[in-house]
Amino acid sequence: MLNQVFALACVTLVLPMVSADYTLILLLVPMGFFLIFLLEDVAQGKTPMSMVKILCFLLPCAWIMATEPLLTLHAVFKCFALLLLLAASISIPLPSTLFGETVA
């Protein structure tokens, strides 16, 4: 379910013909769910997850949320980060207690 929420947010952000950067605010919703998932499931050993897999989500999120200089390819890099996040959300399962997929 968390995978689907992440993927939905990424698709909503990269697929419109025009998607200005203020729409990135919508990514805060799956990021909030992901933080709960990390602390409730991963940190307590309910869902095993390697550091690399965690960073596959957090590093693109960090790039998207950080302020970068408004220079060349600024928006293209944000787009790449969103596509990476989309790929991670498709390929790395995130079964969470929040959505009733693991035992509380």
Summarize as ranges the residues that interact with other proteins (CB under 8 A): 1, 4-5, 8, 11-29, 31-33, 35-36, 38-40, 42-45, 48-51, 54-55, 58-59, 61-76, 78-79, 82-83, 98-100
Alpha-carbon gap, residue 55 to 28, rounded angstroms: 17
Nearer Cβ to other proteins, position 23 or 102?
23
What is the nearest approach in angstroms of other proteins to the Cβ of residue 93? 16
Alpha-carbon gap, residue 72 to 32, rounded angstroms: 30
Nearer Cβ to other proteins, position 67 or 103?
67
What is the nearest approach in angstroms of other proteins to the Cβ of residue 34? 10
What is the C-alpha radius of gyration for the chain, rounded to an integer number of angstroms?
14
Closest CA to 30 of 52, 66, 57, 54: 57
